[in-house]
Amino acid sequence: MSLAPPSRHLSRHASLVLVAALALAACQRETPPAPDAAGEPPPPVATPAATAGAPVELKDVIESNDRYVIGISYPAAVNRHPGLAKALSDYTAAERAELMQAVDAFGNDKPSAPYELSLAFEQVVDTPQIVAVAADGSRYTGGAHGQPLIARFVWLPQQDARLTAAALIPGAKGWQTVSDYVREQLHTAVVNRADEDELAPVDRAALIKSTFRMIDEGTEPDAANFSEFVPVLDAAGRITALRFVFPPYQVGPYADGTQTMDVPAALLLPHVAPAYAELFAR
């Protein structure tokens, strides 16, 4: 799946829409659970979002002037989940702040071409147990192309909490299993592509060596390397696989675009935290 380049045709009419104000909620801290009998801390769990204060109502954003262009679109359904809406709003605010920092660095001058922030949020899963939203876009602050923006949000409505990779698979052994599987699949894809392109032996070897290095570095067995994912569901709404999403440069060159890899539930289940095992198909 390739990331579409940022649009250069956003409306420049005079209507400026302010980004929804973020509620400044006091961070509620809970006393951490006591270590288990073996002295090891308990695995992380998904934590409820802090949604104190006025709920965030997400609205599409279009802003345009001679210094920057911002275009952001949201699915209306996410406003049914205030915690999820706040998570998306926080993400958008952070990316906007990055853009405006670059714009402000010009002082009274302006860039040769307007800087841009383009973000599209799409609800890709919507069940009573799981909601997932995909964010895809780019931020352009000069150079040959924009910086890809890739994020995935998995929400558990019944717990009013975001499910993270670290909470879902808490053990190092689980991430080693995921890493081994993903690496093997990506390695095979690279070799197949090199064969299809009928490259000269020297070019083929160079391509495989450089891409394998990127794959191995980008799939080290750590939850941080697999933080962006969405569940793949069966007809009953159970998870049959996790689709991990890798932005350009993580497991391949920019030209390869965003890449994904599905890891089947059968491989994951032995390593899934017990609190989330019931979400998976068996």
At 43 the pLDDT is 53
pLDDT of residue 144: 84
Express as a percent the part of the chain with pLDDT over 70.
81
Read off the tokens for 106. Answer: 């010009």
Compute the distance between CA of residue 18 and CA of residue 96 in angstroms, rounded to an integer. Answer: 12
pLDDT surpassing 50 at residue 270 = yes
Q: What strands, in cross-sheet order, belong to the sheet with 161-162? A: 61-64, 68-73, 115-126, 131-140, 147-156, 161-162
Query: Does residue 123 surpass a pLDDT of 60?
Result: yes
Task: Give yes or no for residue 162 having a pLDDT over 60.
Answer: yes
Q: Is residue 31's pLDDT more than 50?
A: no
114-123, 193-202, 245-254: which range is least confident on average? 193-202
Across residues 19-25, what is the average pLDDT? 32
User: Contact, 260 vs 183, CB < 8 A?
Assistant: no
pLDDT tens column, 214-250 = 999 999 999 999 999 999 999 999 999 999 999 999 9
According to the model, what pLDDT value does residue 57 have? 92
Average pLDDT over residues 60-88: 96
- Quote the mean pLDDT of the chain: 85
14 vs 221, residue with greater confidence: 221
The pLDDT of residue 46 is 61
Confidence of residue 88 (pLDDT cuts 50, 70, 90): very high
d(CA 116, CA 122) in angstroms, rounded, equals 20
Helices 201-218 + 172-196 axis angle, to 10: 160
**pTM of structure:** 0.80
Would you give the distance in Å from CA 193 to the centre of its chain? 26
Q: Fill in the DSSP letter of residue 53.
A: S
Name which of 26-35, 45-54, 94-103, 263-272 the model is least confident about.
26-35
Q: Which of 209, 214, 210, 219 shows the shortest CA–CA distance to 181?
A: 219
- Hey, which residues does 153 pair with through a beta bridge? 133
Identify the H or E element spanning 58: none
Read off the tokens for 55: 């709920």
Listed residue (153, 156, 18) closest to 93, CA to CA: 18
Q: How far apart are CA 66 and CA 63, in angstroms?
A: 11
pLDDT at 55: 81
